[in-house]
C-alpha cells in the first residue's frame, strides 16, 4: 500500500496566483491500495492549512464576503462553504464566524494580505488567523476517490457511466478493472445515496440469453434485484435479473413514443416490460405489446394494471416472428367488431354566475358539472411497429410480407391512412461515414425482400424503400446502436403471405 500526501508547491501572492496550483490543495491524497485490497476510508483524510478572516461583528460578514469575492481573496472551492465557525471552541460557541481565504493568503505573511483584508484590520472588523481545514472521505467525489485508488494507466476509462435500475447500479467492468472491482463498487455505493446494490455483469447479454438477461455477481450492498423505477411518468416494478432494462435508453423510448398519436394502434413486437407500451397507453394510444420472455410478460401484465392503462395496452407472450401477423389480424378483427374505449370525465367549472347557484360558495360539485365523453374506436390498421431487439430485430422483418394481403382498400389512395411506419433497432459499425447506413439497409433488403436504401433524416420526406437511420448510442468502442425507420413498402404489405 502506498499513501502520498500530495502536498502542493508554494503559491505567490494574490496578484500572481495560479488557480491550478491552488486547486491542488483540494485534490485527494494518492492512496494506492493494490489489487484485491479493501477500501480504507480513513486514508483519505487530508488537512489543508489556510488563513481565515475572523470577523468581530457578525453583522458585517455578508459585506466582507462580497468584498473578498470581488478581490478574489476568498476561498472558492466546490462543496466547501467559505463561512465557518471560529476554530476557537469558546468563540465558536458564541457564534463567531470566519471567512476562509484562498491558499495564497498566509496568516503569518502580511505581505500576502490584499487591500480588503488590510482595510478590515484597520477598522478592527477582522483579524487574520491560521485555520486548519480537514477534508475527509465523504468530501471527495467518486471520480476523485477512484483516481486516488486506481493506477494511473486506468484513469482514462474510470467506470462512472454505469446503468441504474432503481436501487441497483449495474457495472460492466473491463478485465483491467476486475482486480479492483470491490473497491470500485464500495466507492459507487458510498457516493450514491440512492444505490443499495452494486453488481457486475459476468457474461455477454444477448449472446448467452435470447431474453437479454445476464449472469451477475454482487460486488457491494445487498443481494436484492427486485427494483422499482420511473420513466415517462410510468412506474415499472421488476426483477432486474430476470428481464431486460436499460436506463440509458430513456431518451430513445421518449423519441419513439413521440411518433404516436392518440387513437392510433402500435404493435410493440419485443415490448419487454413496457417502456414504449405503457407511456403510449397513457397517451390514449392502443398498443398490442408482446414479449417472448415469460418473466417480462408477467411484469408487463402487472405494470399495465399498476399504471392503469389496461384499456389501451394488451399484453401477449408470443414469438415475435408470428406476432407481427397475429397483431395485424387481431387489430383488424377488433375494429370490425366495433371495439372502443370510452373515457368519461367531468368538464370544467361553469363560468357564469347563474350556473354556480347550486351552492352558496359558488363551488360546483363534480356531480353537477357537465360530463365529457371521449371515444377512441380501435382503428382497422396498425400505424407503427416497434422492434427493439437490436441483436436480431432486422431478421424479423420478413414477417411483414403479406400482412395486409387483400386489404389495399384500407390505405391511401382509397383512404387517408398510410402504411405503417416500422422502427427497427439494430447494431452496426460505429462510424461517421455512410458505412453503418449502407450496412443496415443491405440487411433490411436481405430479410425484407425489397431494396432499401438510406433516405432523409425526416422520414416524411422519404419515398418507398428509403430508410431514416438514427444513431441511438455507442455500446462499444467500434459498435453503435441505431434505429432504422421506414414506411412499409406496398409491394411487401400487399404481397401474398407465405
Residues 83 and 117 in one domain: yes
> Are 72 and 116 members of one domain?
yes
22 lies in a domain?
A: yes
Of 257, 247, 127, the closest CA to residue 195 belongs to: 247
Give me the pLDDT at residue 204, please: 56
Beta strands at 163-165 and 286-290: parallel, antiparallel or unpaired: unpaired
- Domains: count for the chain: 4
d(CA 378, CA 327) in angstroms, rounded, equals 13
Per-residue confidence (pLDDT) for residue 17, from 0 to 100: 44
* Nearest-angstrom CA–CA distance, 61 and 84: 11
pLDDT score at 15? 41
Question: Of 2-6, 146-150, 276-280, 396-400, which range is least confident?
Answer: 2-6
Residue range 166-181: mean pLDDT, rounded = 90
Q: Do 441 and 457 fall into the same domain?
A: yes
316-355, pLDDT tens digit by residue? 999 999 999 999 999 999 999 999 999 887 766 666 555 4
Rg (CA), the chain: 32
Do 385 and 407 reside in the same domain of the chain? yes
Q: Are both 259 and 291 inside the same structural domain?
A: yes
Domain CATH code at residue 264: 3.40.50.150
pLDDT tens per residue, range 20-70: 545 677 888 888 877 778 889 999 999 999 999 999 998 999 999 999 999
* Structural domain includes residue 328: yes
Same domain, 135 and 159: no
- The answer to whether the Cα torsion of 462, 463, 464, 465 is positive or negative is negative
CATH number, position 205: 3.30.300.110
- Grid look-up 469558546 returns 90
End of a domain among 119, 139, 159? 139
Residue position matching grid coordinates 414504449: 276
* Residues 325 and 453 both lie in one domain: yes
Residues 181-205 have pLDDT tens digits of 999 999 999 999 999 999 998 865 4
Unique residue bearing C-alpha cell 360539485: 365
Q: Which residues contact 90 (CB under 8 A, 6 or more apart)?
A: none
Report yes or no on 229 lying in a domain.
no
- At residue 6, the pLDDT reads 42
Q: Residue 459 pLDDT more than 90?
A: no
Joined grid coordinates for residue 210? 435470447
Residue among 303, 342, 331, 299 at smallest CA distance from 317: 299
Same domain, 334 and 481: yes
Show which of 104, 139, 174 is a domain's final residue: 139
Task: Decide if pLDDT at 2 tops 70.
Answer: no
Asked if pLDDT for residue 138 goes beyond 50, the answer is yes
Is the pLDDT at 106 greater than 80, yes or no? yes
pLDDT per residue as tens digits for the range 72-99: 999 999 899 999 999 999 998 999 999 9
Q: What percent of the chain is modeled with pLDDT above 70?
A: 89
Instruction: Dump pLDDT digits (tens) for 418-432.
Output: 999 999 999 999 999
206 labelled ligand-binding: no
Q: Are residues 300 and 393 in the same domain?
A: yes
State the Cα–Cα distance between residues 346 and 371, nearest whole angstrom.
Answer: 5
Decide if 333 contacts 400 (C-beta within 8 A): no
Centre a 10 Å sphere on the Cβ of residue 136 and count the other Cβ atoms it contains.
12
> Do 123 and 255 fall into the same domain?
no
| Structural domain contains residue 41 | no
What predicted TM-score, i.e. pTM, was given to this entire model? 0.81
Say if residue 120's pLDDT is above 70: yes
Question: Is there a domain that residue 235 lies in?
Answer: no
Residue 434 and residue 477 in contact, taking contact as beta carbons nearer than 8 Å: no
Q: Domain range for residue 474?
A: 245-342+371-493
388 in a labelled binding site: yes
In the predicted structure, residue 455 carries a pLDDT above the cut 90:
yes
Q: Say if 397 falls within a structural domain.
A: yes
78, part of any domain: yes
Whole-number Å distance between alpha carbons of 418 and 221: 52
Amino acid at each position: 500500500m502506498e499513501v502520498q500526501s500530495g502536498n502542493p508547491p508554494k503559491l505567490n501572492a494574490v496578484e500572481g496566483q495560479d488557480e491550478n496550483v491552488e486547486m491542488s490543495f483540494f485534490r485527494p491524497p494518492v492512496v494506492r491500495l493494490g489489487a484485491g485490497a479493501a477500501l480504507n476510508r480513513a486514508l483519505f483524510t487530508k488537512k489543508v492549512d489556510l488563513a481565515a478572516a475572523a470577523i468581530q461583528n457578525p453583522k458585517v460578514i455578508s459585506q466582507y464576503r462580497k468584498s473578498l469575492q470581488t478581490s478574489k481573496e476568498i476561498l472558492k472551492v466546490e462543496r466547501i462553504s467559505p463561512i465557518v465557525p471560529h476554530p476557537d471552541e469558546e468563540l465558536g460557541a458564541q457564534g463567531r464566524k470566519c471567512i476562509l481565504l484562498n491558499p495564497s493568503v498566509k496568516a503569518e505573511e502580511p505581505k500576502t494580505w490584499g487591500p480588503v483584508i488590510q482595510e478590515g484590520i484597520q477598522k478592527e472588523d477582522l483579524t487574520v488567523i491560521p485555520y486548519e481545514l480537514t477534508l475527509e472521505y465523504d468530501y471527495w467525489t467518486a471520480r476523485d476517490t477512484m483516481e486516488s485508488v486506481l493506477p494511473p494507466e486506468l484513469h482514462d476509462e474510470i467506470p462512472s457511466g454505469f446503468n441504474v435500475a432503481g436501487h441497483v447500479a449495474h457495472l460492466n467492468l473491463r478485465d483491467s478493472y476486475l482486480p479492483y472491482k470491490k473497491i470500485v463498487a464500495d466507492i459507487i455505493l458510498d457516493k450514491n445515496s440512492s444505490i443499495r446494490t452494486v453488481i457486475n455483469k459476468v457474461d455477454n447479454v444477448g449472446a448467452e440469453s435470447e431474453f437479454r438477461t445476464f449472469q451477475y455477481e454482487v460486488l457491494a450492498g445487498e443481494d436484492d434485484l427486485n427494483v422499482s423505477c420511473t420513466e415517462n411518468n410510468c412506474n415499472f416494478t421488476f426483477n432486474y435479473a430476470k428481464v431486460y432494462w436499460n436506463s440509458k435508453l430513456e431518451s430513445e423510448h421518449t423519441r419513439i413514443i413521440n411518433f404516436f398519436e392518440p387513437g392510433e394502434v402500435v404493435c410493440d413486437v419485443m415490448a419487454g416490460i413496457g417502456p414504449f407500451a405503457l407511456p403510449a397507453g397513457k397517451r390514449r394510444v392502443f398498443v398490442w405489446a408482446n414479449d417472448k420472455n415469460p418473466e417480462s410478460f408477467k411484469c408487463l401484465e402487472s405494470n399495465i394494471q399498476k399504471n392503469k392503462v389496461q384499456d389501451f395496452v394488451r399484453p401477449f407472450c408470443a414469438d415475435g416472428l408470428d406476432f407481427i401477423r397475429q397483431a395485424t389480424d387481431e387489430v383488424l378483427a377488433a375494429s370490425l367488431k366495433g371495439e372502443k374505449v370510452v373515457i368519461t370525465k367531468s368538464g370544467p367549472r361553469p363560468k357564469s354566475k347563474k350556473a354556480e347557484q347550486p351552492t352558496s360558495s359558488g363551488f360546483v360539485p363534480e356531480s353537477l358539472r357537465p360530463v365529457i365523453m371521449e371515444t377512441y374506436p380501435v382503428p382497422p390498421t396498425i400505424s407503427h411497429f416497434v422492434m427493439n431487439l437490436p441483436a436480431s430485430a432486422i431478421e424479423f422483418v420478413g414477417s411483414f410480407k403479406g400482412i395486409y394481403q387483400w386489404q389495399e382498400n384500407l390505405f391511401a389512395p382509397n383512404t387517408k391512412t398510410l402504411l405503417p411506419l416500422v422502427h427497427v433497432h439494430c447494431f452496426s459499425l460505429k462510424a461517421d461515414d455512410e458505412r453503418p447506413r449502407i450496412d443496415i439497409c443491405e440487411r433490411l433488403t436481405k430479410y425484407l425482400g425489397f431494396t432499401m436504401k438510406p433516405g432523409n433524416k425526416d422520414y416524411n420526406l422519404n419515398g418507398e424503400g428509403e430508410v431514416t437511420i438514427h444513431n441511438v448510442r455507442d455500446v462499444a468502442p467500434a459498435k453503435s446502436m441505431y434505429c432504422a425507420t421506414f414506411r412499409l413498402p406496398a409491394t411487401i404489405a400487399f404481397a401474398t403471405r407465405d
